[in-house]
Structure 1
Amino acid sequence: MLTPEILSVRELRAGLAGVLKQVQQPGAEPVFVGPHRKAEAVVMSVSQYEQLQQAAAVRREAVAEALASVRAEGLEPSDEGLKMFEAIAEGRMTPEEAREQTLARYRR
């Protein structure tokens, strides 16, 4: 992933109308903003935000179903397993990464 351009707060204030127009363009990337060019906020279109929220909801639902399936078998994940489920639900880990991490534990 390329490092995004980060606007200073002053640049955002001066060009807010242009930034809002920019993020509305199809396929536009979010704009990062922060003092001293250290990203502390993101400006994105409402449609991009809604897509992120929908993807997060789908992940949470899939994780809840997987956890319910495990528990229906009379099993309870370890604390480490629950942390992995949580990481997947939050988008910090993909299911593939969780699978590899789990399998690596048993390959030792």
Structure 2
Amino acid sequence: MTRQDVLGVAEARKQLPDLLARFGRGSVDSVFLGSHRKAVGVLVPVRVYDELRGERARAVDDAAGSLRAEGPEPSSIAAELAGLFTQGRITAGQMEAMLLAYHRAA
């Protein structure tokens, strides 16, 4: 399924058992959900989701390690936001904006 193949709610509901079976057989293809051919969500196999979270965690660890190598420890707000990013609860852009707003206000 390509990104242009966006399933509407009714079609996704109808195909859900087949989609889950496909994931269970090892498919790593994502399924885009939305309306009017505009994707607003995506279903991914757990294996892909776990990989993405792992990549986020490694990126955060690398950034914190680079900062520590230069001397300072990450601030508590940076550590908290990095945790939210690693969990997939905020995007990299949101984390950056929140950190900038926090440090500008301080």
TM superposition score normalised by structure 2: 0.59
User: What is the aligned partner in structure 2 of residue 102 from structure 1?
Assistant: none
Tell me the number of residue pairs that the alignment of Structure 1 and Structure 2 aligns: 76
Q: Which amino acid aligns with 2:10?
A: R
**Is 1:6 equivalent to 2:6 in the alignment?**
yes
Residue 43 of structure 1: how far off its partner (Å): 0.8
Q: Which amino acid aligns with 1:28?
A: V
- Bigger shift: residues 21-30 or 37-46: 21-30
Higher strand fraction: Structure 1 or Structure 2? 2
Q: What root-mean-square deviation, in Å, do the aligned CA atoms of Structure 1 and Structure 2 show?
A: 2.6
Structure with the greater alpha carbon radius of gyration: 1
**Structure 1 ranges of 4+ moved more than 3 A:** 89-92
Identity of aligned residues (%): 26
Per-residue deviation, 1:13: 0.9
* 1:38 CA drift (Å): 1.2
What residue number does 2:52 align with?
52
Equivalent AA in structure 1 for residue 26 of structure 2: P
Q: Which residue in 2 is equivalent to 1:26?
A: 26
Deviation at 1:31, TM superposition (A): 0.5
Verify the 8 A CA contact 1:6 1:32 in the aligned structure 2.
Answer: yes
The 2-side partners of 1:68 and 1:27 are apart by 40
Q: Structure 1: any 5+ residue segments left out of the alignment?
A: 75-85, 93-108
